[in-house]
Amino acid sequence: MTAAPSLPRIAVVGSGIGGLTLAAALAASGTPCEVFEQTRSMTETGAGVQLAPNAARHLRRLGLRPALDEQGVAVEEMRVYGWAGGTIAATPFGAACEMLYGAPYYAVHRADLQQALLRLVGPRPLRLGHRLKAVRRDGEDMVLAFEDGTTRRADLVVGADGIHSVVREHLVRDAPVFSGLGVFRGLVPVERLPAEAREPLIRIWLGPGRHFVCYPVSSGRLMSFAAIAPLAGAGAESWSAAGDPAELVAAFAGWRGLVSDITRAAGTVRRWALHDRPELRTWSSDRLTVLGDAAHPMLPFMAQGANQAVEDAVELASQLAGAHRDEVPGVLAGYERARAPRTAAVQQGSRAHADAMHLPDGPQQRERDLAMRRSAGLRGLRERAWLYGHEAGAVTPA
C-alpha cells in the first residue's frame, strides 16, 4: 500500500506584515507552518502604514475587518499640496474606493496591524528568539541554522526577513542600494495639532528635493508623519534609529499647512536612510523563496511596500493550498511567475516617483502639477485600477 503524499513542512522566517499574513493565509487554507522570529518579544516600533484596497481586501477576507475598522482610519481623500501652500490635486477614496475596488483605503499604526495579525495567527506557530544564521540544502531537506546553535528541517523555506534577508543570500549576493534620501518618522497626538488634523485624509506636500506625508492612525488619536529629505550618508539603517527633532524642523522650515505644526509638535522622531535593492532575477530555488522586502524592497514613494508583501503572501498561500511535499517546486515556479512582473513594475514606479515628487520650483514642477490636476478626482482613482484592482490568488478557508 502506497503512503499518501504529505503536506510540506513550511518554515517562514520573519514575523512582519508579510510573514504573519502568510501564516494567516496558510492557516485559512488548512496548511500549517512555523514562523521563526529573531526577537524574543513581539513589539513594533514603526509608525503608520497605508493599506490600499489591493491589500485591504485580502486582510478583511482573512478576518481583520473588525480590527481595521476599529483601530485604523478609513481615508476619505488624498490631497497633494505645494510646499509653499495651495492644493495641487485631490483624489477621493472613501465610498468610491470601496465601490470600485471592494475595500476602503486604510491608514493604520503598524503596531496595531501587527497585533491584529498576531491575534489571528495565534501563538502556536510562532518560534521567538530564533535569529537565522544560514540556510542550506541537505538532500531533499532545507536546513535552517540559528545563532543559538539549533537547527530545523523544512520542505520549504520562505524568507519574509526584510531588506537584510538571510534567506535572500541563498539566491543572490547583492546589497541594499542607498537612495541618497533619509526619512524622519514619528507620531504626534492629534490634540497637539489644529482641529483640521482630525480629518481622515492623507496629505502630501511636495517641494524641492523633499516631501512630507501625514495621516491619522490609531482610531484617529495619533498623526503619523514621514518626512523625506536628502541625507549625506547612508548611516544607520534601523527603524529604531533616533532622529533629532531640531533637524526635522530645520529641514522643513518655511513649509506651509500642517507641516510646521507637526514638525514643531514632534517630541520624538526616528530617522533612517532609504534603500532598495536590485530586482531579483530568480525568486526561488525548488525549496526556498522570498516575499515582501526580502524579495523586492521598495522606496516608499508609492506607499506599496506593505501592500505588495500582503499580495505576495496571499498568492503564495493560495498556490500552496492542498499542495503536497513533492509539488513545492512547481508551486514556487508559479508563485514567481505571478508576482515578479508586478512587483518589478511597482518597484520601478517607486524609484521614478522620487524624482517627480522632488522637482525644484520651475517649468518641470509646473508641468508635473498640471498633469496631477488632470488625473485627479474620480478619474485618477479609476486610473489606479492596475494597482488597487489587482487580485492576488484567493484563499479559500479549509
Q: Is 375 inside a domain boundary?
A: no
The side-by-side arrangement of strands in the sheet containing 141-146 is: 132-138, 141-146, 151-154
Q: Is 347 inside a domain boundary?
A: yes
Q: Is 227 inside a domain boundary?
A: no
Q: Is 145 inside a domain boundary?
A: yes
Q: Is 325 inside a domain boundary?
A: yes
Domain enclosing residue 339, as ranges: 10-75+106-175+277-354
| The three cell numbers locating residue 83 | 510646499
Q: Is 51 inside a domain boundary?
A: yes
What are 351-380's pLDDT values in tens digits?
A: 999 889 999 999 999 999 999 999 999 999
Would you call 313 helix, strand, or coil by DSSP? helix
CATH number, position 330:
3.50.50.60
CA distance 279 to 336: 13
Please indicate whether residue 388 is annotated as part of the active site. Answer: no
| The three cell numbers locating residue 266 | 514632534
What are 258-286's pLDDT values in tens digits?
A: 999 999 999 889 999 999 999 999 999 99
Q: Is 64 inside a domain boundary?
A: yes
Instruction: Check 81, 105, 106, 215 and give the catalytic one.
Output: 215
pLDDT of residue 167: 97
Q: Is 132 inside a domain boundary?
A: yes
What are 33-54's pLDDT values in tens digits?
A: 999 999 887 766 678 999 999 9
- The single-letter DSSP state of residue 216 is E
Our count of domains for the chain comes to 1
